[in-house]
Amino acid sequence: MPVDEARVSLVDAAIRQRLVAMGFRLLRRTRDLLAADGRRRQLYYDLCAAYLKAYTAYHEKRKSPGRVYEIPGRDCKMWLPISWGKTVVQRRFGLFEPWTFETLRTVVEPGMRVVELGACYGEFTIQLSRLVGAEGRVYSFEPFPKYFAILKRNVELNNLRNVILFNQAAGEGSIGEVSFDSEAIHPYASLDQISGLDYSVRGGSLDAQTRPTTKVPTVRLKSFLEQEGIEMDLLFMDIEGCEIPVLKDLEEILCSQRKPVIYLETHEMFYRPGDFDWMRTLLERSGYSTKTIDQRHLLCLP
């Protein structure tokens, strides 16, 4: 690139960063001015949503490359594929699922053994690592190869020495492996191989004859825990409907005297009729009290 073009590119990048910072300073100032009035507070939330929507559309259109961001309010750095949509932008600004961060702060204690299924880019992996401390361990599973590469990068970026990563899918032992679309930016076209559910509303199905694929092994979580000698204190799941076979596999552990705390995101848009009721009944029959967090999440306490 010629020197003048490179200089212009750097100036453009600096201007964009200043505009982003100015936008959020303005939003914070607006929040402070409107905080006392409920209706005005809603105006602030609407302004935030509009800003994030515009920011998302800008980067999607430009196909902006991923890079490392300082995450406000989370005291961490993350490499994020910023052009991959709204939830990535929410992570970039520290606005992704604040209720989950708050819930984890209330239930995770130093020294815990945590199993995380569906680690994605690692935003909760980072928090779990810090909450369990040097004496604790976080066993993080992420099957989708593109997510796993980003997860690994973010674990290294934040120097998380108590996190062990697995590029594997938790499911029934008979499955063996899952084929993921190598060109996709989300895993939905392949998850039916694990759960047997219909994901057409989020991405159709995988045609392995015409698309390049990457195969990832599956593991029965109960077998993994027994082989590694792990007694988990917390099971954290965000696995898009695949929690159903995992819970079936773990039923013996859930009914035991030493049962883990469970925090999971439910996915009723994918479930078959009766799946959600079966899951909640299993947990309550196993001695758990369940609390709904922000409509889609369940906190299950022994």
Q: Domain of 253: which CATH number?
A: 3.40.50.150
Domain boundary among 39, 61, 92: 92
Most confident stretch, 23-37, 40-54, 131-145, 210-224: 131-145
Do 46 and 104 lie in a common domain?
no
138 neighbors 162 (Cβ within 8 angstroms): yes
- Domain count along the chain: 2
Contacts 24+ apart (CB under 8 A), 108-112: 108/132, 108/234, 109/233, 110/135, 110/136, 111/135, 111/136, 112/136, 112/233, 112/234
- Residue finishing a domain among 70, 92, 114: 92
In this predicted structure, the answer to whether residue 289 has a pLDDT above a threshold of 90 is yes
Reported as a pLDDT band with limits 50, 70 and 90, residue 5 is very low
Q: Which pLDDT does position 50 carry in this prediction?
A: 78
Question: Which residue, 28, 57, 92, sits at the end of a domain?
Answer: 92
pLDDT in tens, 194-234: 888 888 776 655 555 567 889 999 999 999 999 999 999 99
Pairwise CA distance, residues 167 & 288, whole Å: 30
Do residue 219 and residue 265 come from a single domain? yes
Indicate whether 77 and 142 sit together in one domain: no
Residue 9 and residue 118 in one domain: no
Answer yes or no: is pLDDT of 292 > 80: yes
pLDDT single digits (tens) 243-254: 999 999 999 999
What integer is the mean pLDDT of 45-54?
Answer: 77
Specify the higher pLDDT residue, 123 or 61: 123
Q: Are residues 250 and 204 in the same domain?
A: yes
Give the span between the Cα atoms of 165 and 4, in whole angstroms. 44
Nearest to 95, CA basis, from 127, 123, 67, 117: 123
